[in-house]
């Protein structure tokens, strides 16, 4: 009997936090091709750990270097008829650089948690941020 193997898309990302004037802000990205506000994330490369992928994707999509603080949670959904899982980590900003729009990301915006939750497009990401507001 033949089995149909469906590969799960494995992605990793970050809730990138920074402190500004005694207030915490979260980095959100806007992708014009999907018309969404989302958290930085992307697929794992061959041989790459989940954490390595998360840090690489955050840097690639925001231009910021970060350090992982702790595990934030995971989100699962169907993307182009395939199951996708995204593992997220809370991250602290180490160094920011001037954001440059690229083929994937059109804008970067830093928002306080309440505003970030309102701006995010996807309910599962809104819930993830809400659960992690006091994570560090």
Q: What is the DSSP string of 43-82?
A: EPPTT--HHHHHHHHHHHHHS-EEEEEEEEEEEEEEETTE
Question: What's the pLDDT band for 4 if we cut at 50, 70, 90?
Answer: confident
pLDDT over 80 (residue 2): no
Residue 127: its H or E element: helix 123-132
Question: What's the pLDDT band for 134 if we cut at 50, 70, 90?
Answer: confident
pLDDT over 90 (residue 51): yes
Reported as a single tens digit per residue, the pLDDT across 15-30 is 999 999 999 999 999 9
Q: What are phi and psi of 94, to 5 degrees?
A: -100, -50
Cα separation, 8 vs 116, whole angstroms: 28
Domains of the chain and any CATH numbers? 9-132 (3.90.79.10)
Mean predicted confidence (pLDDT) in 97-114: 94
What pLDDT shows up at residue 3? 66
Mean predicted confidence (pLDDT) in 34-50: 97
Cα separation, 42 vs 21, whole angstroms: 30
What pLDDT shows up at residue 136? 59
Q: To the nearest whole number, what is the mean pLDDT of the chain?
A: 94
DSSP state of 39: -
pLDDT over 60 (residue 1): no
The residue count for the chain = 136
Question: What's the pLDDT band for 73 if we cut at 50, 70, 90?
Answer: very high
pLDDT over 90 (residue 38): yes
Cα separation, 136 vs 134, whole angstroms: 6
């Amino acid at each position: 009997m033949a089995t149909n193997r469906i590969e799960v898309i494995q992605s990793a990302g970050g809730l990138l936090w920074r402190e500004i004037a005694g207030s915490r802000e979260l980095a959100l990205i806007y992708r014009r091709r999907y018309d969404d506000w989302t958290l930085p994330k992307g697929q794992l490369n061959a041989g790459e750990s989940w954490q390595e992928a998360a840090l690489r994707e955050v840097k690639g999509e925001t231009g910021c270097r970060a350090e992982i603080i702790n595990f934030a949670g995971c989100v699962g959904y169907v993307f182009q008829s395939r199951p996708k899982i995204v593992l997220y980590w809370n991250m602290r900003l180490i160094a920011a650089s001037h954001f440059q729009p690229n083929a994937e990301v059109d804008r970067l915006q830093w928002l306080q948690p309440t505003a970030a939750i309102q701006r995010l497009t996807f309910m599962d990401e809104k819930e993830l941020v809400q659960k992690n507001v006091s994570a560090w």
